[in-house]
Amino acid sequence: MESDITGKVTDYISRHGMIKQGGSVCVAVSGGADSMCLLFLLHDMADDLGITLSAVHVEHGIRGQASLDDMTFVKGECERLGIPVEAVRIDAKALAEETGTTLEEAARNGRYRVFSGIDADRIALAHHMNDQAETFLFNSVRGSGIRGLRGMEPVRGRYIRPLLCVTRREIEDFLSRRKIPYRTDLTNEDLNIARNRIRHAVIPELLKVNDGALRHICETAEDAALLEDLLAEEAGRASDDCVIYGDGRAGVITVDLDRFELLHKAVAARVIKEALIRAAGRSKDIGRRHVEAVLSLARGMSGRHIDLIYGIKAYKEFRRLMIKPPGAYELSDNVYP
């Protein structure tokens, strides 16, 4: 069984071109089961892969002594394996207050800020199939569309996820057979956290319906990723053909409706969403209802307008649709009544 997980991960790394011979890989190690499994697997494979291995641990300053003990544990295990490790402490609570984000978001942003300063070709993260399924389900209920259903990518920039091909059970079996120690974060049992409820309540029930549920969900996420890439490519071409950004009207986005109306509905919706994101300067909270409102306006009578999120306004002017970013003022020639 141990050779099975090693073979799976080796094949997955090769299939997605995650690591190049002679490259350097830094493993993000929390001390939990997943990251310890990844650390030991890559340590086992280092010679065959021809890589230089290192590790990084981020202590978030959230769980008091338990968090400090995690840091000491990771440093000790890396030293035992002969893997250089960088341990960095951050104050996630202060970051949350400073940025107005949740503690979880602040901790994540803080981690990635640390990762961005790591001198390595690749940063290896320990997300696995259960995490992918949780992400898929979480994004589904949030209404994130196909873009959210793609879940986590095996390779994104220099970040790689070699364990996306294995389950949490396989990871635990590997650790048990090798007698590899790991730390347990008790906050992962807190059912007030949405992801934990999915992990402990939803996924076990889905596995009762079909014991291959995790695999099927992850395969669907891969399909969604392919469709998302195709849709993004088609929407990009369509935007080039029928959308003018910043045509001199104080940043107003203009859509040529004669060309726009020839588009497939899925592509048309994506074109409008990208235009709204461009107008807002952010994607957060721009959802289906805003896109549908603009599409309805495009189908309606000339001269109408609607107010959207973040102060964005949209107008229909004969055979043109105008999307006005916040702060883009009306013109003196009374184009906008």
User: pLDDT tens, position by position, for the chain (337 residues)?
Assistant: 455 899 999 999 999 999 999 999 999 999 999 999 999 999 999 999 999 999 999 999 888 899 999 999 999 999 999 999 999 999 999 999 988 888 888 999 999 999 999 999 999 999 999 999 999 999 998 888 888 898 899 999 999 999 999 999 999 999 999 999 999 887 777 788 888 899 999 999 999 999 999 999 999 999 999 999 999 999 999 999 999 987 544 589 999 999 999 999 999 999 999 999 999 988 888 889 999 999 999 999 988 999 999 999 999 999 999 999 986 544 434 444 3
Judge whether 156 and 225 are in contact, CB under 8 Å. Answer: no
pLDDT at position 187: 77
Give the distance from CA 230 to its chain's centroid: 18
Dihedral-angle region of residue 317 (phi above 0 means left; psi in -120 to 50 means alpha; beta otherwise): beta
Q: By the 8 A CB rule, do 59 and 29 touch? A: no
Per DSSP, the three-state class of 66 is: helix
Q: 């697997």: which residue's tokens?
A: 41
> Is 190 within 8 Å of 21 (Cβ atoms)?
no
DSSP state of 330: P
- Please tell me the distance from the alpha carbon of residue 177 to that of residue 161, in angstroms, as a whole number: 23
- 0.75 surpassed by pTM: yes
User: Which residues is 254 bridged to in the sheet?
Assistant: 244, 322
pLDDT, residue 271, reads 96
- Whole-angstrom Cα Rg for the chain: 24
Angle at 37 between CA 32 and CA 42, to 5 degrees: 130
Residues 320, 317: Cα–Cα separation, whole Å = 5
Specify the pLDDT at position 195.
86
> What pLDDT, on the 0 to 100 scale, is given for residue 109?
93
Tell me whether strands 159-160 and 155-156 are parallel, antiparallel or unpaired. antiparallel
Residue the block writes with tokens 């509905």: 265
